[in-house]
Structure 1
Amino acid sequence: MKQLTSLAILLLSITLFAQDDSDGLEKKFSFEGSVDAYYRANLTAPNDENQIAPETSFADTAGFSLGMGNIIASYEKGRVGAVADLVFGPRGEAASATVLNQLFAFYNISENTKFTLGKFNTFLGYEVIAPAGNFNYSTSYLFSNGPFSHTGIKADFTLSDDFSLMLGVFNQTDVTEFNPDGSYAVGAQLGYSGQFLNLLYDDAGLGFEVDYTGGFDASDEFFIGVNAAYADNDGEGFYGVDLYPQFSLSDDFTVGLRGEYFQTQSESIDDDPSVFSVTLTGSYVIDEDLIVKPEFRLDSGSEDIFIDTDLMATKSLGSFVVAAIYKF
């Protein structure tokens, strides 16, 4: 109840402020968000108290389950503005730990330079926290092992019609409420025509990660997304690659595949385990705002990291999810 009261006060304050146009500056107020829920069942493993799921974030409980509610209020006045992005539900709690998914202010110094201060979702990776921003409903190993959010300051530069650059200084990765020990991380992103090379160095947290995110249109109906990453923290880390081919069968229905190879690495383990995962997702849009996503997923490990219906160790796990996402 306290969180709902705070939310109501915040939204009312932003709305009243947006209505005040006494200084004559142009003001822009927007309010959007999404809600989602899903049903999940293992096809090759138990769905009772022994039920398991891939070691990835979200969509990991059996039966009918809640995702999250996402409410985003943004306000811009002249060259400055702010964004309050609030999340509720299991997915939001797992990703953000608090109701504040993002909370930041920004200043457009010029048409080509923008400064942002506060908490914002990470710039690394192909996938995002809010399911409305992803094609697949379940998430990848690369997304689940990379950073979720940063708190700090960043500068975005538009260098040309094709090139962009971001530089930032943050708290430790995913330490977003305050800085507990005085350590910091630095990050950079170089963009070219929709392709992004991302760098993050966080000696006290994640370590070093380099990430490529991009994609291209093979045709008007066929798109291929790409994500590859390598992370190392004193000999502990991971690397992997994801491919996201997606084909539009009509204006309302698209089918897509996520193929992923993910490898952990550790100096203390001679043979680091790896996982190959294939996720087939359909996306059906109803009246522009409701999206229904049926999804089949097969995870195959290099070792016996799953169990089968007889509770015996096995290398693979098949599962099914159907999700409903409503955007407003």
Structure 2
Amino acid sequence: MIKKIFGTAIIALCAMQTLHAQDSTKSLAISGSVDGYYRYNFSNAAGNSNNKTSFTNSQSSFALGMATIKADATALSGKVTATADLGFGTRAEEFSYYESAAKSSLAMVKQLYLTYALSSNVKLTAGKFATHVGYEVMDAPLNRNYSMSYMFTNGPFSHTGVKMDVTAGPVGFMLGVANFIDQTTSTTSTKTLLAQVSGGSKDGKLKAYLNYAGFFGAHEGSNPLALKSLSQLDLVVNATVTDKFGIGFNATMQDRKQIEGSTNPSGSWKGLALYLNVDPSPTVGLTWRNELISDSKVVYYGTKSIYASTLSLDYKVGPFTLIPELRFEAAQSEIYSKNDGTGSKSTATALLAAVYKF
């Protein structure tokens, strides 16, 4: 099965390479990464890792993350591009949970898309691509914290469909339509609307993105979540204060409307996250992430509020990064477990991750 996936990707890329026999501007770039970690939750509760976010679900053990291989092909001076991005391991399986549950080989396909530039300012993309929603992304080398935030975990991971990007200097606009959220192969006719408006300062030190993903008007049984509608509005701001200090900010609101007759409540949950990034030297980086989740009507999280604080140190040696991390969480309700199995309103975790990119 893996051979078939690689074979399909290689054939697609070779087709792009031979798209125009006289094109001397075609190129092919290969990149990738591997990561793994050790995690210890200080509660050490039997059968409960006290992990409520994506991926780092192990307790007191070494664990594999994900191996990725990505191929980017361009032709006609970049007018046409193709990307095949494959992932193998626990992280890849969790982020492709629909395909993993169906035991589909598509669970290994993180991204697979074609892009055609209509002009220098307008491009069309079709295929599977990572979501535009949120501050964090699924690839470990692209995040400064190794463990994931609540907002990343409970937002979309990817979209399979078509989108159009329009740019004019620092201002950008994106509009698209895709399968049901996170589904590569759709099991429903419900479609997801995608949108983004972006802008920033001329010097690039301030960038802001207003993102949307959602669906509405669904009928009973017409989508896996059994929701009438789901809409997520998301804001991401990045500010470079100095060459050694930067700030990231993410605010999100997800509105969930239940179908008529459902016993689950309709309503919204909200989240805020502040990232303080300090780089005292080219080899050492420090990131402090503080996240607050508010779910006043308890429509999703099982508690009215969650606070999570994560401190990560990135020690870089060439393409290798070592990430020791400390994380503390507290909730309004007892959603965590103590060592004796009783409930707890807080928990603390230590983690050591290793990431290599090429």
Using the size of structure 2 for normalisation, the TM-score is 0.85
Asked if residue 80 in structure 1 is aligned to residue 77 in structure 2, the reply is: no
Say which SS state the counterpart of residue 155 (structure 1) adopts. Answer: strand
Quote the residue 2:212 is aligned against: 199
Quote the residue 2:184 is aligned against: 176
Structure 1 residue 44: Cα displacement: 2.9
Structure-to-structure mapping, 1:47-58, within 5 angstroms: 49-58=46-55
Say which SS state the counterpart of residue 50 (structure 1) adopts. Answer: coil
Q: Distance in 1 between matches of 2:289 and 2:119?
A: 39
Q: Is the 8 A contact 1:45 1:317 kept in 2?
A: no
Q: Is the 8 A contact 2:303 2:335 kept in 1?
A: no
Say which SS state the counterpart of residue 262 (structure 1) adopts. Answer: strand
Q: Distance in 2 between matches of 1:52 and 1:293?
A: 20
Quote the residue 2:56 is aligned against: 59
Asked if residue 304 in structure 1 is aligned to residue 304 in structure 2, the reply is: no
Q: Distance in 2 between matches of 1:19 and 1:109?
A: 20
Structure 1 residue 38: Cα displacement: 0.3
Corresponding residue to 2:196 among 189, 200, 205: 189
Corresponding residue to 1:255 among 286, 292, 296: 286
Listed one character per residue, the Cα deviations across residues 131-167 of structure 1 (whole Å, up to 9, x for unaligned) are 11111000000000000111111000012x2101101
Q: Distance in 1 between matches of 2:11 and 2:20?
A: 16
Quote the residue 2:312 is aligned against: 281
Q: Distance in 1 between matches of 2:314 and 2:298?
A: 41
Say which SS state the counterpart of residue 93 (structure 2) adopts. Answer: helix
Using the size of structure 1 for normalisation, the TM-score is 0.92
Percent identity reads 32
Structure 1 residue 176: Cα displacement: 1.7
Q: Distance in 2 between matches of 1:264 and 1:120?
A: 29
Structure 1 residue 70: Cα displacement: 1.1
Listed one character per residue, the Cα deviations across residues 73-130 of structure 1 (whole Å, up to 9, x for unaligned) are 1111111121111010000000023111111111001000000011111000000111
The alignment of Structure 1 onto Structure 2 pairs a total of residues equal to 321
Quote the residue 1:126 is aligned against: 135
Identify the range of structure 1 (257-266 vs 117-126) with the bigger mean alpha-carbon deviation.
257-266
Say which SS state the counterpart of residue 44 (structure 1) adopts. Answer: coil
Corresponding residue to 1:292 among 322, 329, 332: 322
Q: Distance in 2 between matches of 1:327 and 1:73?
A: 14
Q: Is the 8 A contact 2:180 2:188 kept in 1?
A: no
Asked if residue 144 in structure 1 is aligned to residue 153 in structure 2, the reply is: yes
Structure 1 residue 268: Cα displacement: 6.7
| Aligned CA-pair RMSD | 2.0
Identify the range of structure 1 (100-109 vs 53-62) with the bigger mean alpha-carbon deviation.
53-62
Q: Is the 8 A contact 2:16 2:75 kept in 1?
A: no
Q: Distance in 1 between matches of 2:299 and 2:209?
A: 33
Corresponding residue to 2:174 among 140, 143, 166: 166
Q: Distance in 1 between matches of 2:189 and 2:118?
A: 29
Q: Distance in 2 between matches of 1:267 and 1:316?
A: 18
Listed one character per residue, the Cα deviations across residues 265-288 of structure 1 (whole Å, up to 9, x for unaligned) are 54779x94211000000001012x
Identify the range of structure 1 (316-325 vs 8-17) with the bigger mean alpha-carbon deviation.
8-17
Which runs of 5 or more residues in structure 2 are unaligned? 101-106, 201-206, 219-224, 258-265
Q: Distance in 1 between matches of 2:126 and 2:115?
A: 6
Q: Distance in 1 between matches of 2:298 and 2:9?
A: 48
Are residues 227 and 72 of structure 1, via their aligned partners in 2, closer, same or farther at CA, if it must alter by over 3 Å? Answer: same
